[in-house]
């Protein structure tokens, strides 16, 4: 059972019962901090929780409403006049209202989905200036004025400084929620003016439960939860079109590495190196195929993740039965994913990684 708060309170957010209880008590006592920082690892539902909290505060009957009233629907569409939502944007999108509308509609569609943080994504000063103006207006409906700043650590220095004035003297009846997986990148002055609300890693049971809610079968939910590293990433990725494309590309890449066909590998490079998020997603999916190959070779085929590709994995595992080499290739890709952000030229980076991987698989020293 959850803690001592109504069952509809932040009901869509998995786990985090201590946080929910603390927030609910603060609301009951009229002591909700005017600026909160939802912090914790990626893919824990921090942004979704921020929206849920605002929905609760603005709903005329939150205990009984299932998110269907006018207020709740406006909030779900990010269309409520009392709520300002700011998300990081690439510099190409920043000044194009129709592109921004596209981004916001995808955020509204799935507030859990992780942002694919491109190198040039940021929260610029114009967005914060607009927030400053809007939060100072009086609320159109009960429950105050709200602003949510997603991935607030991506504020530019100018934006952060412009934001400080609002944080120093928050307008009456206004509330701000910042979310961040990298709070160390926030200005100390922002950290000191906001109340930290910590999100914790999720248990396997919670993750499996979330997967089932998202339509996974019992077995799929268990597999996804096993693969998860304390957060919802595998489930959120599994329903993401971009991720599915990356997975298909990774499957071709992984198979080509074992076919020892350099030309097939090099044909894939431009597709994999399209941009940083694609490279990262393809490399991560490649790692999952490599892990599955290794699981076959070490006699644990029931633990594989890419269940739908079982036969192909079995074939490749039998053809190139060198578990140590595969373990080294996994290390190579793990390191590459970490180093990715340091390489502005992804294509060269992808080629270098692919060549090293082929050498390791062939048993050559690199």
How many C-beta atoms surround the C-beta of residue 277 within 10 A?
Answer: 16
CA distance 212 to 356: 39
CA distance 116 to 122: 12
End-to-end CA distance of the chain: 54
Contact between 53 and Zn ion (CB under 5 A)?
Answer: no
| Closest CB 23 distance from Zn ion, rounded Å | 18
Contact between 57 and Zn ion (CB under 5 A)?
Answer: no
CA distance 359 to 32: 58
Contacting residues for 3 by C-beta, under 8 A, at least 6 apart = 17, 18, 20, 21, 24
With respect to Zn ion, which residue has the nearer C-beta, 64 or 138? 64
Of residues 195-234, those binding Zn ion (CB under 5 A): none
User: Judged by CB under 5 A, which stretch of 24-32, 69-77, 253-261, 302-310 contacts Zn ion?
Assistant: 69-77
Two tokens, residue 321? 């039965």
DSSP 3-state assignment of 247? helix
With respect to Zn ion, which residue has the nearer C-beta, 23 or 159? 23
Distances in whole angstroms, Cα of residue 93 to Cα of each of 88, 96, 238: 10, 5, 26
Are the C-beta atoms of 85 and 98 separated by less than 8 Å? no
With respect to Zn ion, which residue has the nearer C-beta, 76 or 100? 76
Are the C-beta atoms of 286 and 258 separated by less than 8 Å? no
Query: Out of 22, 32, 69, 264, which residue is the one contacting Zn ion (CB under 5 A)?
Result: 69
Are the C-beta atoms of 226 and 292 separated by less than 8 Å? no
Integer Rg of the chain from CA? 23
Where do we find the tokens 């990626």? 42
How many chain residues interact with Zn ion (CB under 5 A)?
Answer: 4
| Closest CB 323 distance from Zn ion, rounded Å | 55
CA atoms within 13 A on the CB side of 85: 26
Contact between 65 and Zn ion (CB under 5 A)?
Answer: yes
With respect to Zn ion, which residue has the nearer C-beta, 52 or 84? 52
Contact between 75 and Zn ion (CB under 5 A)?
Answer: no
* 90 beta partners: 121
| Closest CB 59 distance from Zn ion, rounded Å | 3
With respect to Zn ion, which residue has the nearer C-beta, 62 or 88? 62
| Closest CB 144 distance from Zn ion, rounded Å | 15
Contact between 59 and Zn ion (CB under 5 A)?
Answer: yes
With respect to Zn ion, which residue has the nearer C-beta, 71 or 320? 71
| Closest CB 72 distance from Zn ion, rounded Å | 3
With respect to Zn ion, which residue has the nearer C-beta, 38 or 56? 56
Contact between 83 and Zn ion (CB under 5 A)?
Answer: no
Contact between 11 and Zn ion (CB under 5 A)?
Answer: no
| Closest CB 65 distance from Zn ion, rounded Å | 3
User: Judged by CB under 5 A, which stretch of 7-15, 71-79, 109-117, 195-203 contacts Zn ion?
Assistant: 71-79
CA distance 313 to 294: 9
How many C-beta atoms surround the C-beta of residue 311 within 10 A?
Answer: 8
| Closest CB 52 distance from Zn ion, rounded Å | 11
| Closest CB 76 distance from Zn ion, rounded Å | 10
| Closest CB 54 distance from Zn ion, rounded Å | 11
Binding site for Zn ion (CB under 5 A): 59, 65, 69, 72
């Amino acid at each position: 059972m959850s803690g001592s708060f109504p069952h509809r309170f932040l009901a869509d957010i998995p786990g985090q019962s201590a946080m929910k209880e603390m927030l609910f008590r603060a609301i009951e006592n009229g002591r909700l901090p005017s600026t909160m920082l939802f912090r914790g690892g990626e893919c824990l539902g921090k942004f979704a929780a921020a929206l849920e909290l605002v929905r609760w505060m603005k709903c005329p009957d939150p205990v009984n409403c299932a998110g269907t009233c006018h207020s709740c629907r406006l909030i779900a569409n990010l269309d409520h006049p009392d709520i300002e939502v700011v998300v990081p944007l690439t510099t190409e999108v920043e000044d194009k209202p129709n592109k921004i509308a596209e981004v916001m509609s995808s955020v509204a569609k799935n507030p859990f989905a992780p942002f694919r943080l491109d190198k040039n994504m940021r929260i610029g000063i114009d967005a914060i200036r607009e927030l400053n103006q809007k939060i100072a207006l009086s609320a159109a409906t009960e429950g105050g004025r709200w602003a949510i700043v997603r991935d607030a650590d991506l504020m530019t220095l100018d934006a952060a400084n412009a934001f400080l004035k609002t944080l120093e003297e928050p307008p009456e009846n206004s509330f701000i929620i910042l979310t961040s997986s990298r709070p160390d990148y926030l200005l100390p002055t922002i950290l000191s003016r906001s109340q930290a609300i910590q999100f914790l890693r999720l248990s396997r049971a919670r993750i499996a439960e979330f997967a089932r809610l998202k339509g996974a079968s019992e077995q799929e939910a268990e597999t996804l939860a096993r693969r998860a590293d304390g957060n919802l990433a595998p489930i959120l990725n599994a329903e993401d079109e971009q991720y599915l494309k990356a997975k298909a590309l990774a499957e071709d890449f992984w198979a080509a590495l074992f076919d020892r066909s350099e030309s097939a590998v090099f044909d894939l490079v431009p597709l994999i190196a399209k941009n940083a998020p694609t490279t990262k997603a393809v490399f991560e999916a490649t790692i999952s195929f490599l892990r599955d190959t290794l699981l076959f070779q070490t006699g644990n085929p029931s633990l594989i993740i890419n269940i739908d590709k079982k036969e192909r994995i079995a074939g490749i595992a039998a053809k190139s039965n060198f578990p140590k080499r595969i373990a080294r290739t996994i290390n190579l890709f793990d390191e590459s994913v970490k180093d990715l952000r340091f390489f502005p030229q992804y294509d060269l980076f992808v080629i270098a990684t692919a060549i090293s991987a082929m050498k390791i698989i062939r048993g050559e020293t690199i």
